[in-house]
Structure 1
């Protein structure tokens, strides 16, 4: 799945929270409706069967309740995407990443193959089960983990046992730590802890650069990996580092022409946004360019990072550079040559925030926006709840404005075609939603903290509904404005009236 991820350590965030955010994007030419739901631990299944991989897994007896962001039309499985469980542990899965022929030849992906022929025939080939994929990971892991590190270890064990059918990056988060896991071929993996004072940029590439095997096979403070990773690298001559420190990106990643159009420009613009003065990003003597293969996996930002910063950068379309598809000045041949972060195929933006300064019952927020990020608005929702408001949870295949996914898609398609005419309406919509959402959160938390004996579940579910009601009102209003402005710009417009 095409995606863009940013991970922010607790000392780099504005309030000491750990922050994990990811755009889930549909493949080219597709638009996947998404919804957000709450999954109860009661009557949780004890066996999981993959739709795409056809494998089955026995599940632990005890499950946790959690939020989930699945496909609204589950024809190819759950695709749970992101969520937070009742222990305030979050997971975001997955960011599709790249690899190379040396890795994939040494440890091929475990891809499903249908049976060929009939049993008993000479050329009969039995069905070959596929490995774990993005469809499965959140469902197999999030309900059973009590820390980010535990999430890495559970998924790692499943990958070693069942394999994977694709190259993926997965984020795990609790109140103290963020871990990033990358699959390496069919059965191998590495994981690295995000430095507390740093943020990480991930644009559909194998991202981890330096990796410390002494730590991974020793204290395991900041590095974890599959049990035979050292032997796998040695036996297949994967280590290309001239330095003493192993460079994972050199061994496992890719440096293709396609990367320089689709992936590295997104890492460049994210680093440029948060560290504009630290490095030189433009011109012939730039430290990093949109096609640089050595853009770091993590940076220490020039200032602390806010929720709005993350929404802004995950909506980025290279504004302020020659590459903006909506640009009016400069060399027109450069506009739109690189893949934007805020793209037409954004399914949703999911930002999980775990706040250390609040009681566990209200510690976690899942911020959500649906449709193209350039034109949508993001709201926070409490996750220790039993239900999610219908405006987010009732999405289906039918196009309508009774849910935020389809309403956002319609707003985006209209506004994109009339970008400058609708720009002010979109900006005011986004600001109005963001401002009111923060106000509603603050009001709810003041009530709860004033009297901790109150029913936090009821208050949080009521707050969620109030926030969603506000979002629906503002979205209906901006749809009305954008439709009016787009109608005025129709090609068959004529100024003479019959009245």
Structure 2
């Protein structure tokens, strides 16, 4: 599934939080409705069967409560996508990534194969389940992990045992660390700790560009990997380092060994990394003949130190971007008609939900975790925070069904985007005002509720957090409906069947 991820280490964030953020985008031509919910331990399955791969896995008996952003229409699996569990461990899954034929030939993906023939007759071949994938990973992992490292280990063990039918990147975080795991073929994987003082950009492409196998096979300070990775790489000649002489590899470039550099990457993937880093390190040379990196560069760094500490608003801006200020902006006036449609934007019509998982070190564990949420196409929506240490989340964000209605936050945002896109510049001021208002209300709610929580007994905190979430959702519903009315009016006035002469009588 096409998505865009940014990870921000605690030393690079404005308040010392670890921040994991990802757009979930539907495939071309699809718009999958989303909802925000809490999954209680009694709702978690003890035997899980994947819809896509038909794989059945027995799960532990001690799941934790966790938040999730599942598909709102049932029938094709949970696709829980992003959440925080009761121990304030967060997970985002997944960023679909790329590979190459060498890797897929050495460790093929584990794909579902339906039965062939008729059972009991000659030539019958029974159904063969596939591995695990994006549909399954949050459900299989998040309710059971106690730290970001523990998440890497649990998912890694599942991948080695059951395999996967797709290449994916998965983020885990706790208040101290962020880890990024990338699947390599059907059963192999690598994981790297995000440097505390850096941010990471991931645009649907295998991203890790430096990896220390000795650390992964030893102390695992900053690297982990599947148990036989070195031997498998040697057997299949996967290390492309010029210094590799047949001995066990040391530091090497997984992007070169396991990833891709195709023409489609240069249209679909690398421009997104280029633009995000252009925004967060603006004084580097990004344009003109002296540019170190271009939208089609294959060596844009996986992680880098920003020029200043990064905020929630920076995350929203880069994950909503459509290459503003460049010749590649589809709403812009620079460049040509051809350049303005050359690259796939980050804020795209197929954005379904944006989850920003913030774990705040200065807040006690009882109200430490915040999940910021936006639905629909990001250039036209607002990002708002909700406490996750609760038993229920506001109905306005959880009542999504297949029915299109402005009473649903998801569908209201979809309606706003479709209307505003037609008259982008005329509607932009109203949308920016809405975004600013809701961000300010969200920060104010957190400040106010944090202070109130510090004055009451711990067992009273969950109810306080639920009330704060509900109050913010009420403000969100009011502001969203007001914006829908403004956008509807502006776009209606510009309809092609308009006529300037009014009738005198009704």
Fold conserved between structures, TM > 0.5: yes
- Structure 1 residue 444, shift from structure 2 partner: 1.4
Superposed CA deviations along residues 444-497 of structure 1, whole A, max 9, x for unmatched, are 112112334571011000000011111100000000000000000100000111
Alignment of 1:262-281 (within 5 A): 262-277=268-283, 279-281=284-286
1:401 equivalent to 2:406? Answer yes
- Structure 1 residue 439, shift from structure 2 partner: 1.2
Distance 1:79 1:330 in 2: 39
Alignment of 1:338-349 (within 5 A): 338-349=343-354
Which residue of 2 is the match for residue 96 of structure 1? Answer: 96
Alignment of 1:14-33 (within 5 A): 14-33=14-33
Distance 2:334 2:154 in 1: 51
The number of aligned residues is 498
1:428 equivalent to 2:430? Answer no
Which residue of 1 is the match for residue 150 of structure 2? Answer: 150
Match of 1:487 among 492, 502, 505: 492
- Structure 1 residue 125, shift from structure 2 partner: 1.6
Which residue of 2 is the match for residue 259 of structure 1? Answer: 265
- Structure 1 residue 149, shift from structure 2 partner: 0.2
- Structure 1 residue 20, shift from structure 2 partner: 0.2
Question: Contact 1:73–1:397 at 8 Å: present in 2 too?
Answer: yes
Q: Flag the 1:187–1:466 CA change in 2: closer, same or farther, 3 A.
A: same
Distance 2:122 2:129 in 1: 21
Distance 1:452 1:379 in 2: 26
Moved more, 241-250 or 358-367: 241-250
- Structure 1 residue 328, shift from structure 2 partner: 1.6
**What's the TM-score, normalizing by structure 2?**
0.97
Match of 2:368 among 363, 371, 374: 363
Superposed CA deviations along residues 125-157 of structure 1, whole A, max 9, x for unmatched, are 211101001000000000000000000000000
Alignment of 1:51-90 (within 5 A): 51-90=51-90
- Structure 1 residue 74, shift from structure 2 partner: 2.3
Alignment of 1:73-472 (within 5 A): 73-243=73-243, 245-277=251-283, 279-452=284-457, 455-472=460-477
Question: Contact 1:448–1:454 at 8 Å: present in 2 too?
Answer: no
Distance 2:222 2:319 in 1: 27
Root mean square deviation, CA, Å: 1.0
Distance 2:126 2:459 in 1: 59
Question: Contact 2:326–2:334 at 8 Å: present in 1 too?
Answer: no
Distance 1:369 1:268 in 2: 23
Distance 2:445 2:216 in 1: 44
Question: Contact 2:4–2:346 at 8 Å: present in 1 too?
Answer: yes
Question: Contact 1:199–1:298 at 8 Å: present in 2 too?
Answer: yes
**What's the TM-score, normalizing by structure 1?**
0.98
Distance 2:337 2:3 in 1: 27
- Structure 1 residue 441, shift from structure 2 partner: 1.7
Which residue of 1 is the match for residue 482 of structure 2? Answer: 477
Moved more, 72-81 or 7-16: 72-81
Structure 1 residue runs of 5 or longer lacking an equivalent are none
